A and B are shown apart, each in its own frame.
Chain A
Amino acid sequence: MRSFLKLLVLAAIVGAGIGLWVTAPNRVDAARFDGLTGDAARGETVFTAAGCASCHHAKGSEDKLLLTGGMEFVSDFGTFYAPNISPHPEAGIGGWSFEDFANAVTRGVSPEGQHYYPAFPYTAYTKMQDQDLSDLWAYMQTLDPSDVASKPHDVGFPFNIRRSVGGWKFLFMSDDYVIEAADNERGRYLVETLAHCAECHTPRNPLGALDKARWMGGAPNPSGSGTIPALTPDKLDWSAADVAYYLESGFTPSFDAVGGHMAEVVENFAALPAEDREAVAAYIKALPPLDE
């Protein structure tokens, strides 16, 4: 009996140890950035493609480059608010190092070592190229600071235990690409990494992770009303040129005009080179159909 108790205590200690190890923040190795210099002009393109302003500008504000935050994201786990990521030293991220920024964007880990909630699409950004990350950081420091404090998330138990996000990451975070795209790496990088299209266009499992077996299969609108359309060829019959023109102009093939959050996405894509829109269109048209 006594030895059984010992074994149980040992198992508990090992279990807790594994639990702590699994849920611990996984940081970048800063040495990997040695010798990198950020180019702010190139960073603007990364910033646009990654859609940073679309979620981090103040709701209703015309100035999309003042990254005050505040936009809300309603989910089954609570309501998340986009934080201030302007270069303000206290309210924003002005006091961060590049390493802090890399940990936030590609690992979902704050400078204090806390896990961010995956409403922040670091599960996509984790595949961001080092040079792009460095350029993005250089660009973001050129933007105006906002002194508005970030709004705390409204998340209930048990999701308010940030450590649990570590377990979520262990289960669901991967830097593997979903689609084979040897002949269209730019398109895949834009869709799966920077523009994080799947965050809305792919359904989620009960724990809020993307259901990769139903990649781009369409999903309920997180805002609660309506659905986000599927992009797979069994559902979307647009040509590649139609997709590229939609991303440039916001017009569908029947000349309905884009609305909702997608209007922000089109605004970003319209500012990118035509080759980028064509690469995205080629990726979309190469998606495998989903059999229903």
Chain B
Amino acid sequence: MKTPFAALALLAVLGTPALAQDLPQPVKARQGQFNIMALNLGVLGGMARGTVEYDAEAAQAAADSLVAVSSLSQGAMWPDGTDDGSIAGTRAKADIWGNMDDFTSKWADFGEAATAMAAAAGTGRDALGPNMGALGNACKACHDTYRAPE
């Protein structure tokens, strides 16, 4: 009785971190790019809301980073079999793979919004709000359709 319990406990200890690291590399890569997006949106959003003081250089750097993320090739990050029905640890709905053209076009919409932000971010705080709105809409449009709830 003692042995299976100990084995189970050991499995629980060893198993948990193993699971978290078991995500396929493409999934880790795409989640990483979304984290970079969120980090830089946070810089711009903080300035737009006025919780952080406006700094033209930092705003420009954040906007440029968003454009850089939008230019990353997405192909390798979304291989078949990495939807939320196939693996744990992702909220990517299988609909993505059934509507790849629409998914790609929504990603391109984010790129457009990021480019517009980069053109305006260094010109002053007032330019940030409307561009944050456009970026938010691009995020929403895709999440609305292709990301499963938590």
A: residues with CB less than 8 A from B are 221, 223, 225-229, 241, 245, 249-251, 254-260, 263-264, 266-267, 270
Contact = CB atoms under 8 A, between A and B. Distances in A.
A260 B42 contact: no
Contacts, number: 61
Nearest to B50: A241
B147 interface: yes
B140 A267 contact: yes
Contacts of A255: 37-39, 41-42, 45
Interface of B: 37-39, 41-42, 45, 49, 51, 132-133, 136-137, 139-140, 143-144, 147-150
Contact of A241 (B39, B49, B144): B49
A258 B137 CA distance: 10
Nearest to B132: A249
Contacts of A228: 149
A254 B38 CA distance: 7
Contacts of A266: 140
A259 B140 CA distance: 6
A258 B132 contact: no
A251 B37 CA distance: 12
A251 B41 contact: yes
Given A250-B139, A255-B38, A255-B39, A263 B144 contact: yes
Nearest to B42: A255
Contacts of A229: 150
Contacts of B49: 241, 245
B148 A263 contact: no
Main secondary structure on B side of the interface with A: helix
A225 B143 contact: no
A259 B39 contact: no
Contacts of B137: 250
B148 A226 contact: yes
Contact of B150 (A226, A264, A267): A226
B150 A263 contact: no
B131 to A, nearest CB: 11
Contacts of A259: 140, 143-144, 147, 149
Residue of B42, B137, B149 most packed against chain A (CB within 10 A):
B149
Contacts of A227: 149-150
Contacts of B41: 251, 255
A248 to B, nearest CB: 8
A279 to B, nearest CB: 18
A250 B132 CA distance: 10
Contact of B149 (A226, A251, A257, A270): A226
A97 to B, nearest CB: 36
28 contacts: A223-B149, A225-B148, A225-B149, A226-B149, A227-B149, A228-B149, A229-B150, A241-B49, A241-B51, A249-B133, A249-B136, A250-B139, A250-B140, A251-B45, A251-B132, A251-B139, A254-B42, A255-B37, A255-B41, A255-B42, A257-B136, A259-B140, A259-B143, A259-B144, A260-B144, A263-B143, A263-B144, A267-B140
Contacts of A267: 140
A259 B144 CA distance: 5
Contact of B38 (A245, A256, A260): A256
B148 to A, nearest CB: 6
Contacts of B37: 255
A249 B94 CA distance: 27
Given A258-B139, A259-B140, A259-B149, 16 more contacts: A225-B149, A226-B149, A227-B150, A245-B45, A249-B45, A249-B132, A250-B136, A251-B136, A255-B41, A257-B143, A259-B147, A260-B143, A260-B144, A260-B149, A266-B140, A267-B140
